[in-house]
Amino acid sequence: MKKIFGLATAGVILLTLAGCASGGSGGGDAGAAAGPKPTDELVVGFAQVGAESGWRTANTTDIQNSFKDAGIELKFSDAQQKQENQIKAIRSYIQQGVDVIAFSPVVETGWDAVLNEAKAANIPVVLTDRAVDSQDDSLYVSFLGSDFIEEGKKAGQWVVDEYADSTDPVKIIQLEGTTGAAPAIDRAEGFADVIGADDKFEIVASQTGDFTRAGGKQVTEALLKANPDVDLIYAHNDDMGLGAIEAIEAAGLVPGEDIKIVTVDAVKDGMQALADGKINFIVECSPLLGKQLVDIVNQINEGETPEKRIITEETTFTQEQAVEALPDRQY
């Protein structure tokens, strides 16, 4: 009896110590064993990519507002699109012993080491928006974000439909997102899959504009000089598409007519350009992930297991649909 009691006592001490060792709260097994924390004692660390686009700004605002409304403390960092800054922020959250870490990986690769440090500290990690290429999916609890390949396919399908009756070659410039980022890789893949079915479509040039308006303008200016007879620009986000509009107009051409434009995101400035006829089609990519992220944090705190992959719902917009939708857009 004494032996069993002794073991039981040791067990309780170990569980308690484990709870303290991972920052006094820590998520994962120790957290669950200690039972859920009161919401106002939860602390979440969020490592954001940066503020490179209207989408990112809307994403940050929504996440911050969602955690404020939920009464959960959110520690927030802006990595200015640099992976080393995101890694530093994640390490800082580990040191602070937060209950959950969430982040949007600026690129897919190079995360295993820091994610293993979070795992060793018993702090659960949630991926939002973008994916990592880790082979070990135990390194994160859940991945909440869009299906970027599907977004690329939707953009490609609009192009196929738009030129269905044309037998002439269709020359395309692609403005890629940040090199190595999941949305850039996948939106290119989905688009190529669809237009590749007909060899009249040719991507004559493809270059990164880093998801920024300035990058989109600068790259389009250069590529238009080398490809003056291009028919369409496919931009991986609205901001680069808006930069392309500036470059097209500076070249004395009419965006949306002389050169058609297809983009992804559907932020307000993009939707306004769509309604004005300067963009021809937009595939929506919702930045409103805050409420779902709060739900995931609450599930972890309650010792529940969130879904491993949660795909955000989103649609597409034509010029006519943009006119209708603009008054009600949240971002």
Q: Is 314 a binder of ligand GZL (CB under 6 A)?
A: no
The nearest distance, CB 29 to ligand GZL, in angstroms, is 31
CB-based contact 160:195 (threshold 8 Å): yes
The residue type of 130 is: R
Using CA atoms, how far apart are residues 68 and 86, in angstroms rounded to an integer? Answer: 22
In whole angstroms, what is the distance from residue 96 CA to residue 77 CA?
14
Nearer to ligand GZL, 28 or 183 (CB): 183
Interface with ligand GZL in residues 189-218 (CB under 6 A): 211
Nearest position to ligand GZL, beta carbon: 55
For the CB of residue 266, give the shortest distance to ligand GZL in the complex, in Å. 10
Please, are residues 159 and 195 in contact by the beta-carbon 8 Å criterion?
yes
Classify residue 36 by its DSSP letter: P
x/- site string to ligand GZL, residues 258 to 277, per CB under 6 A? ------xx------------
Taking only Cα atoms into account, the Rg of the chain, rounded to an integer number of angstroms, comes to: 23
Please identify, using beta-carbon distances, which residue of 98 and 144 lies nearer to ligand GZL.
Answer: 144
Q: What is the side-by-side order of every strand in the sheet holding 201-208?
A: 201-208, 170-176, 232-235, 260-265, 281-284, 316-317
Q: Does 23 bind ligand GZL (CB under 6 A)?
A: no
| Closest CB to ligand GZL among residues 110, 303 | 110
Interface pick for ligand GZL out of 25, 237, 301, 319 (rule CB under 6 A): 237
Stretch 37-76 residues interacting with ligand GZL (CB under 6 A): 52-53, 55-56
- Residue closer to ligand GZL, measured from CB, 52 or 99: 52
CB of 236 or CB of 260, closer to ligand GZL: 236
Task: By CB under 6 A, tell whether 85 contacts ligand GZL.
Answer: no
Q: Name 224's Cβ contacts closer than 8 Å, sequence gap at least 6.
A: 173, 230, 247, 248, 251
Shortest distance in whole angstroms from residue 212 CB to ligand GZL: 8
Q: List all residues 6 or more positions away from 164 whose beta carbon is below 8 Å from its beta carbon.
A: none
Angle at 43 between CA 39 and CA 46, to 5 degrees: 125
Which parts of this chain interact with ligand GZL (CB under 6 A)? 52-53, 55-56, 129-130, 145-146, 183, 211, 237, 239, 264-265, 285
